[in-house]
Structure 1
Amino acid sequence: PLDAPAAELVADLAERRRTTPETILLWWLQRHPARIAPVIGTSRPERIRACRDAVVREPELTHEEWYELWVAARGGPLP
């Protein structure tokens, strides 16, 4: 799939940071310049637990990692 590189990058960052992919995605949203306020829409306790680090830990993405995720999600370089 087209999003496979982005998913692989998210999984790699989660492993390096010893957290979940959900946390990586939430950290990315928290650092977005549009000041996105993510809403966790689930009733599954395991999904809520997977997002816990995003709330209790400071975002640990570097600027380079943030842009790397953006480029991977776009499927091509920035303009």
Structure 2
Amino acid sequence: MQEGQTARFHWTANGAVLNYDTHGDGSGQKVSYEQGRGVPEQEGELTAAFTGNHGWFWRNRTDAPVTVTLRTGGEYAEIRAP
């Protein structure tokens, strides 16, 4: 995302809960926008603090499998998953 661009989002753990970190990195900069523990879903807007990669890291701390559903819209060039 370019600095100042905004993306709307809604993610859900489909009945489960996750730990998450909404973050960004690029051009030698890093930011953690928000973190949560045991969260079933989240909705909002992400505005890029600088040009670079911006998104989420999710961690399942339970023994059960979790499916994450992410819906987005707004100003961004691509979505990548590791």
TM-score by length of 2: 0.26
Higher helix residue share: 1
Higher strand residue share: 2
* Higher RCO (C-alpha 8 Å, min separation 6): 2
TM-score by length of 1: 0.26
